[in-house]
Amino acid sequence: MKNLVVYYSRSGNTETIAQEISKEVNGDIKKIELIKDISFAGAAFKALLGLKGKIKSIDFNVKNYDNIFIGSPVWASKSSIPINTFLSNVDFTDKNVFVFITQADDKTPYPVYESVAERVESKGGKVIDSYFIQTDMKSPLTSTQAARHISDWINKNRTYL
Ligand SMILES: Cc1cc2nc3c(=O)[nH]c(=O)nc-3n(C[C@H](O)[C@H](O)[C@H](O)COP(=O)(O)O)c2cc1C
């Protein structure tokens, strides 16, 4: 199976998780990048409204993969705006999708899972599983912590990978 890990990260936490997932699943890893950096307030405001962000062009095709891991931080209880753009631009037909979310809160972000799943499924994909990692805005996640967080989740989904 070919695995791809796609993520956006503003302050590094989702990136650290994405790197550990890509090692665990032996997958390619691709970062979604905004054309222009965004302030905290701008990010929160635009995410709250469900807006998209202008992202750099992507140099990969999800068609070449079986499983797509999509990672986003939570902004204002919603998915981040670069991931909104990615979700609206990509065709997920026949892809298995795994969603990973980082956030400061300890409560499962079901509304974020649901809104991402709706968008993936409207583009023909199937969300197999979703997972979140609680982070600390003052102290970035380390790779050791990230590896510990994701290992059970990846092992639970091993049959797909
Ligand atoms: C603009 C903004 C809004 C945020 N809103 C929330 C929120 O509503 N709920 C929450 O639990 N965390 C919130 N956070 C915290 C981030 O989700 C958390 O720090 C995440 O791990 C950041 O990921 P990153 O380091 O990959 O950018 C917010 C962070 C930012 C920058």
The pLDDT mean for the chain works out to 97
Side-chain-side CA neighbours of 68 within 13 Å: the count stands at 29
For residue 51, the enclosing domain spans: 3-160
Question: pTM of whole model > 0.85?
Answer: yes
Residue 156 has pLDDT above 90, yes or no: yes
Specify the residue with its C-alpha closest to ligand 1, atom 17.
103
Summarised one tens digit per residue, pLDDT across range 60-101 is 999 999 999 999 999 999 999 999 999 999 999 999 999 999
Determine phi and psi for 102, rounding to 5 degrees: -115, 145
Specify the residue with its C-alpha closest to ligand 1, atom 30.
75
| Number of independent structural domains in the chain | 1
Determine phi and psi for 106, rounding to 5 degrees: -100, 0
* C-alpha of residue 74 to centroid of ligand 1, in Å: 5
Which CATH number covers residue 57? 3.40.50.360
Residue 120 three-state SS:
helix
* C-alpha of residue 108 to centroid of ligand 1, in Å: 14
Q: What residues contact 128, with CB distance under 8 A and at least 6 apart? A: 67, 96, 97, 98, 157, 160
Q: At what angle do helices 143-156 and 13-25 cross, to 10 degrees?
A: 50
